Structure 1
């Protein structure tokens, strides 16, 4: 199979590309910096990779007429994975340009090269403020917790509106973390960015010689962190290549997510920062040091105050059809995922 990929040099995309090549597929990869392909893939793997130098926000991702003519009718699947994952409100325009405009340009190129199948990798958090996530399209007029979620919801809408012209499937991973078996991780990804903030704050306190017993983090101790290891997300996408259904949405989520308090305990142990506690104490009671700490990690706060239930019946059926095992994360795997932070630095 000949597969076009965006995001092929990213954490998830790079892993998936290697798996695809190993299984005998050929990949055409969008790359803003083509040199990254040479550094991330072996010489042998590069024999199965074609590169389109381009950019998500360019017309048809930067593909010229020669590329379009050469590849028309040749691509079996268009796999759109690239996205900007930032939560800051001041990045709203950039998030919409990358995540929404980029998706529209990916759809444009898919149609220009007469590729019928389009997979869109989104996020489970397009559900906005809901506490139950279904495998259905969400209303883009609802409230969202940050512009990242909102931009991805609008991108899903654009994909869904193309389902009469293309066989579209949408995949919604929750919080992607390191490999559950090897600990391989990307330090820029979600939970590891949070751990980086914790480590920087700890060093700041140590440099200033603060004598402290406890630092309170505002959040729900009984809330859950819906973590999905990168190997599980890759397995779902591999299963989807042969078994995904058109016009279907797949939540790539965790049925038994760990509690925030549990994950914080693992992080405290890994970072040697035992002074952290998670509490729902009102912010007015925080010390100046605690307030500074909470301000530092405030973009992550919406994910520390919830206990979301995600429905993933479509994904379970997909994995069963393809003969893949369901997700299982035990305490050992969770600790390995947290400790991967130091390997990824």
Structure 2
């Protein structure tokens, strides 16, 4: 089995890479890494190896290609691209920008164009077998009802360029499913390992936690019942490994009766923001900010608070409901509930590596 993996330097992609290098059925893994203004592709890869004993032990399985997914043929030399199309039979597309504030044109270039080029590549592969596409549960947008795995266009509106471009990119994958065997995996908000708290990148939820830890927030504009759907990365890893094996198996159990190739990796119990505050603030030795219903604030104060929280405001004030029936049929494992121990592990890890500081 020879696999092309994108997004290997990201949180999700690096975890998938660790799974792949230890899989005895995987012979070679091809990475497309882009050079940045600060670091070339080779240096970025060496940093990955240095940070992971698992990857370091299986270094010889991995081959690096310096390319850019947003460019046709990944910007590779003709012989490099041809080599990959002749060798690759599994494609895992985990690369994406998760920035909420990215300009739409830039987000389209990364999330939409990159996915289209992955689909073009998959169609060009001589012995193609399967595409695994990492989408997001938050293509749900502002849809107020339970979002099922079979749902896609439910007339939702989007809060930011991330949601919109991931929705459009998934649409391209869905259109190609008739000709390409594909699996769409939609995780919700990923956090660190449930046992160790280990996380890479400190994105999405973590900057919000940092604002609280820095005592920059005296209030949080949300109702007392506000919640977030949080998934520890080790649960995502478990589900991905099961889906990977299941989707590539030749004899799938007929009794499962799964009618779609889309799977939600979500938590069946949302994490209450008041619990995150109650359990987390004592660990950081800070006073808990107040949860204030934004509708009860004076109009001018509400506008200021809304601007201040900008990208987080919709997530704090709109509960999202997801169905994961397909995932549970295949994996038969529910996500651990985000309780006191997981919050403690998450915050302690952030403090250990210097992302957060405990106040005295």
Question: Which category of TM-score, normalised to the shorter sequence, fits these structures?
Answer: 0.7 to 0.9
TM-score if structure 2 supplies the norm length? Answer: 0.83
* Aligned-partner Cα distance in 1 for 2:211–2:112: 28
What's the offset of the Cα at 1:328? 1.7
What's the offset of the Cα at 1:48? 1.0
Q: 1:159 aligns with which of 173, 177, 184?
A: 173
* Aligned-partner Cα distance in 2 for 1:137–1:67: 38
Runs of 4+ aligned residues of structure 1 deviating over 4 Å after TM superposition are 290-294
* Aligned-partner Cα distance in 2 for 1:191–1:271: 17
Corresponding residue of 2:255: none
**Does residue 226 of structure 2 align to residue 218 of structure 1?**
no
**Where does structure 1 lack aligned partners over 5 or more consecutive residues?**
206-214
* Aligned-partner Cα distance in 1 for 2:88–2:139: 29
Q: 1:50 aligns with which of 41, 63, 73?
A: 63
* Aligned-partner Cα distance in 1 for 2:200–2:176: 33
Corresponding residue of 2:31: 29
Secondary structure of 2:80's aligned partner: helix
Q: How does 1:290-305 map to 2 (within 5 A)?
A: 295-305=307-317
Question: Which range is displaced more, 276-285 or 23-32?
Answer: 276-285
What's the offset of the Cα at 1:337? 2.3
* Aligned-partner Cα distance in 2 for 1:141–1:293: 28
* Aligned-partner Cα distance in 2 for 1:287–1:149: 28
Corresponding residue of 1:14: 14
Residues 220 and 60 of structure 1: CA distance in aligned 2, closer, same or farther (over 3 Å): farther
What's the offset of the Cα at 1:286? 8.4
Question: Which range is displaced more, 256-265 or 325-334?
Answer: 325-334
Question: Which range is displaced more, 168-177 or 189-198?
Answer: 189-198
Structural RMSD (CA): 2.4
Q: 2:88 aligns with which of 56, 61, 75?
A: 75
**Does residue 48 of structure 2 align to residue 40 of structure 1?**
yes
Q: How does 1:138-157 map to 2 (within 5 A)?
A: 138-139=152-153, 142-157=156-171
**Where does structure 2 lack aligned partners over 5 or more consecutive residues?**
35-40, 50-54, 249-258, 356-360
Contact persistence 2:143–2:157 (CA under 8 A)? no
* Aligned-partner Cα distance in 1 for 2:10–2:208: 19
Matched residue pairs, number?
A: 328
Secondary structure of 1:190's aligned partner: coil
* Aligned-partner Cα distance in 1 for 2:288–2:276: 14
What's the offset of the Cα at 1:340? 3.0
Q: How does 1:271-290 map to 2 (within 5 A)?
A: 271-282=284-295, 284-285=297-298
Q: 1:235 aligns with which of 238, 241, 244?
A: 238
Corresponding residue of 2:109: 97
* Aligned-partner Cα distance in 1 for 2:178–2:288: 55
Q: 1:332 aligns with which of 341, 350, 353?
A: 341
Q: How does 1:117-136 map to 2 (within 5 A)?
A: 117-131=130-144, 132-136=146-150
Output one character per residue of 1:131-181: Cα deviation in whole Å (capped at 9) or x when no partner. 311102422853112221111100110000111220011110000000001
What's the offset of the Cα at 1:284? 4.3
Corresponding residue of 1:85: 98
**Does residue 198 of structure 2 align to residue 184 of structure 1?**
yes
Residues 58 and 297 of structure 1: CA distance in aligned 2, closer, same or farther (over 3 Å): same
Residues 216 and 72 of structure 1: CA distance in aligned 2, closer, same or farther (over 3 Å): closer
Contact persistence 1:173–1:233 (CA under 8 A)? yes
TM-score if structure 1 supplies the norm length? Answer: 0.87
* Aligned-partner Cα distance in 2 for 1:241–1:224: 30
Secondary structure of 1:37's aligned partner: helix
* Aligned-partner Cα distance in 2 for 1:197–1:166: 44
* Aligned-partner Cα distance in 2 for 1:83–1:16: 14
Contact persistence 2:149–2:260 (CA under 8 A)? no
